[in-house]
Structure 1
């Protein structure tokens, strides 16, 4: 089974608890379960992880270089600040999908620039948890379309 890493950055574990509703009402645990179930239907083995620590995310991206055919990342607040995450993603040879629950271009101006986008094959944003499923669909197709090695 093809392995895909789905990495989530700071505060993603609080989805569903945000009073503003920016990230929807669905809990992180529920989103994780939806993604794991959907990935299985796509014949993907999902490594779905979350950390509030930049270095941990960099470590996981580096780990994915050896283990994963594709990578999806919602770097959350680190999207706008982390050159370290960008550098790690640039060293990953498979497809990378950048995912965001909210539409980052409809939010504060500082969110309009993403370091992650420089390394991403594509971006899914503004569709809540549905966007996570669409990111899985995209990564499955991108992996399937890669030339055999």
Structure 2
């Protein structure tokens, strides 16, 4: 069972900078992740929050709720949330960080991820397909 977490502003997909993030919505992304999960034989739960504390709680609770892996797009929290970094590091469930855009080809402040070092891997710049790759990795490595 996989948990897909999306952080701040990802609820604005389809409206926010379509030249960077595309025209598909968060609902489109969630439906796609659920469909990929079904195809891969794994149930998927998708959640989004603009609140750091809520994301921390979901990471903390993942194992006790039976999740075997987490795909996370921390949004802007990627670059400064040591609390999210510590939450990821504090639990046993493997985590893969995903970004829709190629953060390394964007503004300099986006080049640093404080969360990536405690994740199993990081996928950036492949659009929604990066989520599928993260899911495949988590399923294959379980």
Per the shorter chain, which TM-score range? Answer: over 0.9
- Give 3-state SS (helix, strand or coil) of 1:65's partner: coil
Contact 1:95 1:142 in 2 (8 A): no
TM-score when scaled to structure 2?
Answer: 0.95
Cα distance between partner residues in 1 of 2:117 and 2:133 = 20
Cα distance between partner residues in 2 of 1:19 and 1:60 = 27
1:27 aligned partner: 25
Which structure 1 residue ranges, 4+ long, deviate > 4 Å from structure 2?
Answer: none
Contact 1:6 1:49 in 2 (8 A): yes
Cα distance between partner residues in 1 of 2:55 and 2:98 = 15
- Give 3-state SS (helix, strand or coil) of 1:7's partner: strand
How many corresponding residue pairs? 141
Is the counterpart of residue 59 in structure 1 residue 49 in structure 2? Answer: no
Unpaired stretches in structure 1, ≥5 consecutive residues:
144-149
Unpaired stretches in structure 2, ≥5 consecutive residues:
none
Contact 2:7 2:48 in 1 (8 A): yes
TM-score when scaled to structure 1?
Answer: 0.90
2:39 aligned partner: 41
Cα distance between partner residues in 2 of 1:19 and 1:54 = 22
Cα distance, 1:79 vs structure 2: 0.4
CA deviations 1:14-50 (Å, max 9, x no partner) are 1111245211111111111010011111121111100
1:77 aligned partner: 76
1:130 aligned partner: 129
CA-based RMSD of the aligned residues comes to: 1.1
Contact 2:62 2:93 in 1 (8 A): no
